[in-house]
Amino acid sequence: MDLNEEQAGGVTVLQVMGRIDSTTAPVLGERLTAMVGAAGARVVVDFSQLDYISSAGFRILLLAAKRADQTTSKLVLCGVSGKVRQLFDLGGFLDLFTIAHTREEGIAAAG
């Protein structure tokens, strides 16, 4: 898993590339929880270059979403397609997170 962070008009975009599994999920969790831990943070997580995500990754996303609620931060996901979308669907997560189609739409939704 590789992470790439960019700023776009007050919104932080975190691109996650490769695989989220029980080995890599803690690294993502640390970064994401810190990002949404600041009050009123606006974060987009781009999964368009992600191969797959296991339950360890969803556990991290659930924690980040709950943390974002506490800090009135906005957490938007984008690029959820193919295999990754299938896993979101299996876990019933498509309605649980704010999911935008493209990165641009994600930035608009978070901003």
Partner 1 sequence: MSQTETAIRNCREEFPRVVDAVDRFAAEHRLSQGVVGDMQVALDEILTNIVDYGYTDHADHEIRIRLRVIDNVLEAAIEDDGFPFNPLESHAPDVSAQLSERRAGGLGIHFVKNLMTEIIYDRVGNRNLLVLRKNLTT
Ordered alpha helix ranges (H), the chain: 25-37, 55-70, 82-90, 103-110
Place of tokens 């993502």: 28
Distance of CA 20 to the CA centre of its chain: 11
Residues 62 and 85: their CA atoms lie apart, in Å, by: 16
Q: What is the DSSP letter of 102?
A: S
Neighbour tally for 42: CB within 10 Å:
22
- x-marked contacts with partner 1 along 8-27 as a string, rule CB under 8 A: -----------x-xxx----
Binding to partner 1 by residue 101, rule CB under 8 A? no
Please, which residue, 59 or 101, has the CB nearer to partner 1? 59
- x-marked contacts with partner 1 along 24-63 as a string, rule CB under 8 A: ---------------------------xxxxxx-xx--x-
According to CB under 8 A, which one of 13, 32, 87, 99 is a site residue for partner 1? 87
| Residues binding partner 1: number (CB under 8 A) | 23
Binding site for partner 1 (CB under 8 A): 19, 21-23, 51-56, 58-59, 62, 65-66, 69, 83, 87, 90-93, 96
